[in-house]
C-alpha cells in the first residue's frame, strides 16, 4: 500500500483524533487542523492531541495547525505548503439541539467552511475528498433501516440541513471538476475520548455523581450506536478507495448515493438499533450503579429512530461495523474511569 499524506480537519475532535492515530500507526502522514473552540471542554481536545503525539515516531509524520477552516487564505496556504493527497474533512459545528438556538454557527462552519474545503480541493488537485455527513440527513424519513438511496430532503434541524447541503455541494464539484468525493453518514458514534455533550458521557457522569438523567420519549427512542473503532476503520478504508462514477447510473430514476460523476455516499452504522432505555441499562450494568431517571417528551429536532443499512459500505470496502454494544460500553466506561479518575 502506497503511503499517503492526509489533511485532516477536526483533528482534535472525537472522531478526528481517533482517525489521526490510526493513520499514523499505519505509517501515513497526517496534517491536522482544528480551531479548538469552546463548544465543549477544550482540555479534552488538548488531551486528545497529546495522545496523538505519544504515537508519532517522526515529527515529519504529524503536524498540527490551530485555526478555523472559515479562514480561506490560511487553508489555501496550508494545502499549498503540505501538498496532501487526500483531504479528510471532519471539522464541523456539531449537535442537533445546539443548532436550534445557534443556527448561524452552523452556517459559518458547516457551509462556508465546507465551501472553502471544496475550493481548496479544486485549486490544488486533491486526489480524494472524504467528508463527514450524518444519519440526521434522513430527517422525516421513517422507512427503516435507512438506505443511502432513500430520500434525504426533509431535514428536522439546521444541523441536518447543513450536512445534506454538504452532500449536494460535493456532488457539484464531483461533476464539474471531476473531484472524487465520498460522504459518510455516521450513526450515533460512541467510545473512548467521546464528546461530553453526547449521551454516553452525560449519562455516565450523572450516574456516577448521583444526579438525575433526562430520558426523552420515555426511553423509546431507537438509536444505531456505533463504536468508534468501527467508524475509524471504515473511514480509513474509504479514504484509500476514491469514489468512482456509477456506469449503471439511471438519470431517469436517479439514486442520491452515486452518480455519473465520481461521487459516493455511505452509511456507517452498526445496523442494530437499540432502545435508549436499554442503552442506559447497559451503562448501569457496566458501572454497577442505577440511574435516577426523569422521563421527558421527545425534543424538537430529534427523530424517533435511526438504523443503518450498511450493505453498500461492505460491498465497497469489505468491512462494516460489528462491535457488540455491551463490549463497546465496557471499553468506554473503563476509559471514562481512567480519564476522569473515578475510583471503582
Residue 65: in which H helix or E strand, if any?
Answer: strand 62-65
Whether 37 contacts 197, CB under 8 Å: no
Whether 71 contacts 9, CB under 8 Å: no
CA distances from 184 to 7, 37, 123, 232, 288 (A): 17, 23, 23, 11, 35
**How far is it, in rounded angstroms, from Cα 269 to Cα 124?**
32
Which structural domains are found in the chain, ordered by start? 5-187+228-270+306-322 (3.40.50.720)
Q: What is the pLDDT of residues 5-23, one digit of tens each?
A: 999 999 999 999 999 999 9
Q: In this prediction, what percent of the chain has a pLDDT beyond 70?
A: 97
Q: Residue 237 — very low, low, confident or very high, per pLDDT cuts 50/70/90?
A: very high
Averaged pLDDT for residues 76-97:
91
What 8-state DSSP symbol labels residue 110?
I
Edge-to-edge, what's the strand order for the sheet holding 181-186?
A: 62-65, 29-33, 5-9, 86-89, 128-134, 181-186, 263-268
Residue 146: in which H helix or E strand, if any?
Answer: none
Q: What is the pLDDT of residue 239?
A: 98
**How far is it, in rounded angstroms, from Cα 175 to Cα 96?**
30
Whether 11 contacts 50, CB under 8 Å: no
Asked if residue 138 has pLDDT above 90, the reply is yes
Give pTM, 2 decimals: 0.95
Q: What is the pLDDT of residue 91?
A: 95
Averaged pLDDT for residues 201-217:
95
Backbone φ and ψ for 153, nearest 5 degrees, come out as -110, 25
Q: Residue 343 — very low, low, confident or very high, per pLDDT cuts 50/70/90?
A: confident
**End-to-end Cα distance, the chain:** 44
Q: What is the pLDDT of residue 58?
A: 67
Whether 187 contacts 136, CB under 8 Å: no
Q: What is the pLDDT of residue 96?
A: 67
Catalytic (active-site) positions: 159
Averaged pLDDT for residues 322-341:
96
Averaged pLDDT for residues 59-86:
95
CA distances from 201 to 109, 181, 326 (A): 25, 33, 15
**How far is it, in rounded angstroms, from Cα 187 to Cα 134?**
7
Q: What is the pLDDT of residue 302?
A: 75
Q: Residue 236 — very low, low, confident or very high, per pLDDT cuts 50/70/90?
A: very high
**Among 125, 225, 234, 251, residue whose Cα is nearest residue 184:** 234
Q: What is the pLDDT of residue 1?
A: 64
Q: What is the pLDDT of residue 193?
A: 98
Mean pLDDT of the chain: 94
**How far is it, in rounded angstroms, from Cα 340 to Cα 42?**
15
Whether 215 contacts 199, CB under 8 Å: no
Q: What is the pLDDT of residue 2?
A: 80
Asked if residue 303 has pLDDT above 80, the reply is no
**Among 94, 262, 224, 232, residue whose Cα is nearest residue 163:** 94
Asked if residue 94 has pLDDT above 80, the reply is no
Amino acid at each position: 500500500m502506497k503511503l499517503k499524506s492526509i489533511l485532516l480537519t477536526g483533528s482534535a475532535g472525537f472522531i478526528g483524533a481517533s482517525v489521526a492515530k490510526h493513520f499514523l500507526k499505519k505509517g501515513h502522514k497526517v496534517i491536522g487542523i482544528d480551531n479548538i473552540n469552546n463548544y465543549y471542554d477544550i482540555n479534552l481536545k488538548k488531551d486528545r492531541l497529546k495522545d496523538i503525539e505519544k504515537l508519532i515516531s517522526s515529527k515529519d509524520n504529524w503536524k498540527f495547525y490551530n485555526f478555523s477552516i472559515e479562514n480561506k487564505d490560511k487553508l489555501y496556504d496550508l494545502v499549498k505548503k503540505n501538498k496532501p493527497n487526500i483531504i479528510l474533512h471532519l471539522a464541523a459545528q456539531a449537535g442537533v439541539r445546539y443548532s436550534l438556538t445557534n443556527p448561524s454557527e452552523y452556517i459559518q462552519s458547516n457551509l462556508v467552511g465546507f465551501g472553502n474545503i471544496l475550493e481548496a480541493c479544486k485549486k490544488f488537485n486533491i486526489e480524494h475528498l472524504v467528508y463527514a455527513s450524518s444519519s440526521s440527513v434522513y430527517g422525516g424519513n421513517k422507512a427503516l433501516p435507512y438506505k443511502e438511496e432513500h430520500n434525504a430532503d426533509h431535514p428536522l434541524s439546521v444541523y441536518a440541513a447543513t450536512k445534506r447541503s454538504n452532500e449536494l455541494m460535493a456532488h457539484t464539484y464531483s461533476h464539474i471538476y471531476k473531484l472524487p468525493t465520498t460522504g459518510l453518514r455516521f450513526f450515533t458514534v460512541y467510545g473512548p475520548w467521546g464528546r461530553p455533550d453526547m449521551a454516553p458521557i452525560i449519562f455516565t457522569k450523572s450516574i456516577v455523581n448521583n444526579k438525575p438523567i433526562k430520558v426523552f420519549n420515555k426511553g423509546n427512542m431507537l438509536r444505531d450506536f456505533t463504536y468508534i473503532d468501527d467508524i475509524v476503520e471504515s473511514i480509513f478504508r474509504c479514504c484509500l478507495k476514491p469514489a468512482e462514477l456509477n456506469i449503471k447510473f439511471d438519470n431517469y430514476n436517479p439514486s442520491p448515493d452515486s452518480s455519473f460523476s465520481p461521487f459516493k455516499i455511505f452509511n456507517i452504522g452498526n445496523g442494530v438499533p437499540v432502545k435508549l432505555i436499554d442503552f442506559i441499562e447497559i451503562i448501569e450494568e457496566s458501572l454497577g450503579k442505577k440511574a435516577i431517571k426523569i422521563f421527558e417528551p421527545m425534543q424538537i429536532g430529534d427523530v424517533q429512530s435511526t438504523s443503518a443499512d450498511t450493505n453498500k459500505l461492505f460491498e465497497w470496502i469489505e468491512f462494516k461495523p460489528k462491535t457488540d454494544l455491551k463490549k463497546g460500553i465496557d471499553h468506554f466506561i473503563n476509559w471514562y474511569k481512567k480519564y476522569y479518575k473515578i475510583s471503582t
